[in-house]
Amino acid sequence: MRPRGRVWARRAGALAWCLAVLTGCTAGGGEPRGGGAPAPGRTEPPPASRAAVTALPADGARDVPPEGPVRVTAAGGRLVSVRLADARGAEVAGTISEDGSTWMPDGLLPLGSALTLDAEAEDDRGRRAVRHSAFSTVPRARTFVAFFTPDDGSTVGVGMPVSLRFSRPIANRAAVERAIAVTADPPVEVAGHWFGNDRLDFRPQKYWAPGTRVVVALRLKGVQGAPGEFGTQAKEVRFTVGRAQVSTVDLDAHTLTVRAGEGGKVVRTLKVSGGDPNHTTYRGVLVVSEKHKVTRMNSQTVGLGDEYDIKDVPHAMRLTASGTFIHGNYWADPEVFGTANTSHGCIGLADSKGGTGQDTPAGWLFEHTIAGDVLEVKASAGEVVPPQNGLNGWNLPWDRWVAGSVLDRP
C-alpha cells in the first residue's frame, strides 16, 4: 500500500503545474488585455472614418410632405453617393453640392411612397462612412388639372390663343407656369399671361402664321400649385393653325368685311346690325371661341331681365364669355341690316329660321368661319372688350402682355 502523503503531494504538484499553464495563457508581465503584439493570425479592425453622415427626415418617419425637408449632410468628409428610391427601385433624383457636404432632392417626393435612403461619405484618408434610413410620404393630397383650349388635334384660326383654366386656384404660379411649354413650328416667341390665379393664356406677339403647328406640353404631374395641392397631368396638346381669316366690322357703317389669306384679300362684305346706344357692342379684337348652328339666348343669363328669350337663334358664334355673339337674326326687320344698330350688344346678320340654310349672310359666314378666326370691331361708341372676357388677350399691347407672366423672359 502506497503512503497517502505521497499521493497527495503528487496531486498538489499536478495542480500547481496546471495553474502555471493557465496563467501563461493570459497577458503576462502585468500588462492589461490587448497590450503587446496581436496573437498570430489575428487582424485588428481598420480605424473608423472621420466622416459622419446625418439625414433628414429621421429613420422611420411617416407622412413626410412631398416638399420634405429631405437632406443628407456629411461632416469631416465628402458625400460620394446618395440613393433615395421607392419600393420598386425608382430613384428620386437629387444633387450633391460641389463641396460634397450636402445632398438634396431635385424636386418633390412622390406621394404615398415608402422610401429608403442610402448615403456614403469618405474622409480625407479614403475611409468610408454610411447611413441607411427609411421613411414614407403623406398618402393623400388634393389635386388640380388644367382645362385647355383649343382641343387636341384641332385646326384653328390665326387668333386662337392657348387658354388654360385650372380646377383650383394657383398660389405657386411660377412653378406652374414653368411646367408648361408652348412651342411653335415655324418658331415664334410665345409668352404667358395670368388672368387672376386660375387662368393662364399664351400667345405670340402677332397673330399666328397660317400653317403653324403648336405643341402645348403640360408637365404638371407632381407640381405643387398651392400648399397640399399637386398637379396630375403629363400630356401634350397639339393643334394646327389653318388659313388666315381676319375680318373687319364697322358698326358705324353697319358692315362686316371678310378678309382671307396673308394679304387680307376681301372675300365678301356683309350687312350687319350691332348693339343699340343703350347696349353698345364691344370694340376691339374679338376671337370666335364657339360655334352653334342653333342655340337659346335668354336675357336673364346676361343680366338684362326679361327683355328676350329666343330658343332657336341660328348660326351663333361666341365672341365673349359674357354673352356677345355674332349670329343669324330671322325676327328683325331685314331693313335694319346695313342701316341701324338695334341689338342688345350682339352682331346680327340676316338669316332664316332653323339654322339650316347656307345661302343667307349668317349661314354663309358660319360655314366659312372656324374657332380662332378674328373680328376686328370698330365703332365710334362702346367699350373695348376686356382681354380676359373670352379669348381676347390681343387687346393688350405686347409689353403689357408679357408683364403678366411671373417668369423672367429669356
pLDDT tens across 30-67, in order? 444 444 455 555 666 778 899 999 999 999 999 898 88
CATH number for 115: 2.60.40.3780
Residue 14 has pLDDT above 60, yes or no: no
Question: Exactly one of 193, 254, 344, 346 is catalytic; which is it?
Answer: 346
Report DSSP letters for 110-156, one per residue. PTT-EEEEEEEEE-TTS-EEEEEEEEEB-S--EEE-EEEES-TT-EE
Strands (E), 253-373: 255-260, 265-271, 284-287, 290-298, 309-318, 325-329, 347-350
Looking at the structure, do residues 275 and 344 belong to the same domain, yes or no? yes
Residue 277 has pLDDT above 80, yes or no: yes
Higher pLDDT: 326 or 38? It is 326
Is 346 among the catalytic positions?
Answer: yes
Looking at the structure, do residues 267 and 373 belong to the same domain, yes or no? yes
Looking at the structure, do residues 130 and 180 belong to the same domain, yes or no? no
Looking at the structure, do residues 385 and 369 belong to the same domain, yes or no? yes
- Residue 2, in any domain of the structure: no
By residue range, what is the domain housing residue 345?
Answer: 246-392
Last residue of a domain, one of 115, 136, 157: 136
- Residue 32, in any domain of the structure: no
- This prediction has a pTM of 0.71
Residue 20 has pLDDT above 70, yes or no: no
- Tell me the CA end-to-end span of the chain in Å, nearest whole number: 117
Looking at the structure, do residues 123 and 172 belong to the same domain, yes or no? no
Lowest mean pLDDT among 165-174, 350-359, 401-410: 350-359
pLDDT of 339: 96
CATH number for 185: 2.60.40.3710
Looking at the structure, do residues 106 and 202 belong to the same domain, yes or no? no
- Residue 33, in any domain of the structure: no
- Residue 7, in any domain of the structure: no
- Residue 149, in any domain of the structure: yes
Mean pLDDT, rounded, for 265-278: 96
Residues 6+ apart with CB under 8 A from 332: 273, 342, 348
Question: Exactly one of 132, 327, 344, 368 is catalytic; which is it?
Answer: 327
Angle in degrees, CA 258, 261, 266, rounded to 5: 35
Mean pLDDT, rounded, for 279-289: 97
Looking at the structure, do residues 230 and 311 belong to the same domain, yes or no? no
Looking at the structure, do residues 108 and 220 belong to the same domain, yes or no? no
Last residue of a domain, one of 242, 277, 312: 242
C-alpha cell at 322: 359674357
For residue 388, what pLDDT band results from cuts at 50, 70 and 90? Answer: very high
Looking at the structure, do residues 105 and 185 belong to the same domain, yes or no? no
Domain count for the chain: 3
- Residue 409, in any domain of the structure: no
pLDDT digits (tens, 9 = 90+) for 373-386: 999 999 999 999 99
Looking at the structure, do residues 274 and 380 belong to the same domain, yes or no? yes
Looking at the structure, do residues 155 and 238 belong to the same domain, yes or no? yes
CATH number for 363: 2.40.440.10
Residue 21 has pLDDT above 50, yes or no: no
pLDDT of 383: 96
Say how many residues make up the chain. 410
Looking at the structure, do residues 279 and 387 belong to the same domain, yes or no? yes
The whole-angstrom separation of Cα 169 and Cα 185 is 31
Residues 6+ apart with CB under 8 A from 281: 251, 274, 275, 324, 341, 343, 345, 346, 347, 377, 379, 382
Mean pLDDT, rounded, for 164-190: 97
pLDDT of 66: 85
Q: DSSP character for 20?
A: H
Mean pLDDT of the chain: 88
Residue 315 has pLDDT above 50, yes or no: yes
Mean pLDDT, rounded, for 196-203: 98
Angle in degrees, CA 268, 332, 340, rounded to 5: 60
Mean pLDDT, rounded, for 230-234: 92
Last residue of a domain, one of 136, 151, 186: 136
